[in-house]
Amino acid sequence: MIRNARAFGLGLVVAIAAAAAFAPATHAESKFTSEIEFAKLTLTAEQESVATVKFVIGGKELVCQQVNFDGSLLDDQEATLTPSHVTCKLFGVEAKVTGFAAKECDYLMHPTGPVDLKCAAGKDVKIDASACTVTIKEQNNLQKTKYKQEEAMPKDDYTVTWEIKKLEYTLEGGMLCEMLSGLKVNNLYADGEIIGAMTLTGENVADKDPVDIGWDE
């Protein structure tokens, strides 16, 4: 009886050791990094060329001559970016983007890839294009973001690429809006996209000097 118990105990130890040997290796958690305290750092970004960061609504692109971003690293797991869109067109007509501002809406990025569109109560993002108004409300876990730092890049820069799909939006307007967009108004759609690449730069709030920032996979 005792011999059997010992044999069982030895077998259990061997089984546990074997399971541990073949278990997948764990990886350190992805995180944002900075050479100074996060609270002393500000972030800026700009699209890498004209029309490289854009919304796609109903298969049609919101093209802007300039898209700039300001933001901050809240900690090693969250970074905010607030964009400004200059000289834009959607559905072939001039368009204005509103709702991205302090105490309104901004993007909350995570080092593992997801992006959240966060909005204060009662706020949302709107794209007004002639007779059409596109409304984009707060939504979480939008996929996805890629981070990359080339060897030739300064250490205070890295490239952020958005490949966000399944963005939800509604479209308001009359018959002219339907003609311009090819979409039915007053419906909820989930085929929106935010795509493009930008260069993200770190800067010291106090003296505006460049700050080394990074992303540990």
- pLDDT tens-digit readout, 145-161: 888 876 666 776 888 89
Cβ count within 10 A of residue 158: 20
- Residue ranges per structural domain of the chain: 30-216
Q: Is the Cα torsion angle 46, 51, 54, 55 positive or negative in sign?
A: positive
Q: How far apart are CA 109 and CA 20, in angstroms?
A: 34
- Tell me the pLDDT band of 24, cut-offs 50, 70 and 90: very low
Flag the least confident range among 27-41, 133-147, 170-184: 27-41
DSSP 183: S
pLDDT tens-digit series, residues 90-127 = 998 999 999 999 889 999 999 999 999 999 999 999 99
Determine the average pLDDT of the residues in 25-51: 79
Tally Cβ neighbours within 10 Å of residue 22.
6
Answer with the residue of higher pLDDT: 25 or 150.
Answer: 150
- Name the pLDDT band for 71 (thresholds 50, 70, 90): very high
Tally of residues, the chain: 217
Give the model's pLDDT for residue 50: 58
